[in-house]
Structure 1
Amino acid sequence: MAKKTLILYYSWSGNTKKIAEKIKYEIPDSDLQEVTVADGTFDSDQYKTNDIALDQIQGTKEFPEAQMPTIDFNDYDLVLVGSPVWSGYPATPIKSLLEKMKDYKGEVASFFTSAGTNHKAYISHFKEWAAGLNVIGVARDDSEVQTWIK
């Protein structure tokens, strides 16, 4: 029997959204939900947004709220979390999302989109932010999705 799957994603430019929609197509009975942030949280310029995120991570330690409908994560066997890579980190709304998921007992996997090459840092930072969750994998784009859903 297929795992009941939820696909959550934050997409700043639309690239992660495209991958999330592709994954949704690959897992027909899955649920798809976008995570958003308040207007004005980030800049339309990717370099300014990167600076804002680094300040949140390394400076203020204040992360933007992950806005989405109320979800009972424990209704799902597997939650896929999608994010762009920002300076080797998941987008900062993902930190807030993972906090909301702290009581989730199922499996978590992350897919990411990146224009750069700092993937190993993303993997370690995602796992650090998801401490206490059952992370079964982290992969670029949708390369591992079929393995995760089996």
Structure 2
Amino acid sequence: MLKTLVIFYSFEGNTKFIAQTIAEKLGADILELKPEEEIKTKGFMKYVWGGSQVVMGKMPKLKPFDKDPQDYDLLIIGTPVWAWTYTPPLNTFFNTTKIVGKKIALFSCHGGQNAKTFEKMEKALQGNEIIARQDFFEPLRDKEGNRKKVLSWIDAIINQNLP
């Protein structure tokens, strides 16, 4: 079995729910990306502030990691979808952490559409093998349905006969 790390950022808990479900299923380690200063707004303004950070290419300073992605064979990376792409904490991670030659699975959580999130993540992760991608619609609204979807997706990854 591949040594696996689930890397994610979660603002409202949706992505964390999916990440924890994956980690439990695989017995994987978890690295939660946490900005030193989190957006504190709720309601509609979270979209304004979050979206403007994405558009401006912000890279918030992250709290130190307790895991090194280079120590793992398989990375499963997850993000909420903000302004049709991955979040600023993922932008920081992709631009400050060297990741090359890894097997990577991508997931996203959204309340509308995934848009070009995976394509943009793949571009940021060039030099790696993307083995799977899956989006989840409002995971906390249908926890049981999304849990089943996660488990099915992870079974499909495991059954790819990865070394």
TM-score tier (shorter): 0.7 to 0.9
Residues 1-150 of structure 1 mapped to structure 2, 5 A cutoff: 2-28=1-27, 30-39=28-37, 41-59=38-56, 61-116=57-112, 118-141=113-136, 142=150, 144-149=153-158, 150=162
User: Percent identity at matched positions?
Assistant: 23
Normalising by structure 1, we get a TM-score of 0.82
Output one character per residue of 1:5-24: Cα deviation in whole Å (capped at 9) or x when no partner.
00111110011111111111
Q: Take 1:145 and 1:63, find their aligned partners in 2: how far apart are those partners?
A: 30
Count of matched residue pairs:
145
Normalising by structure 2, we get a TM-score of 0.76
Tell me the amino acid that sits aligned with residue 125 of structure 1.
K
Segments of 5+ residues of structure 2 without an aligned counterpart are: 137-149
User: Is the partner of 1:89 in helix, strand or coil?
Assistant: coil
Structure 1 stretches of at least 4 aligned residues deviating more than 6 Å after TM superposition: none
User: Is the partner of 2:127 in helix, strand or coil?
Assistant: coil
Segments of 5+ residues of structure 1 without an aligned counterpart are: none
Shift of 1:46: 4.9
- The answer on whether the counterparts of 1:102 and 1:132 sit within 8 Å (CA) in structure 2 is no
User: Is the partner of 2:116 in helix, strand or coil?
Assistant: helix
C-alpha RMSD of matched pairs (Å) = 2.1
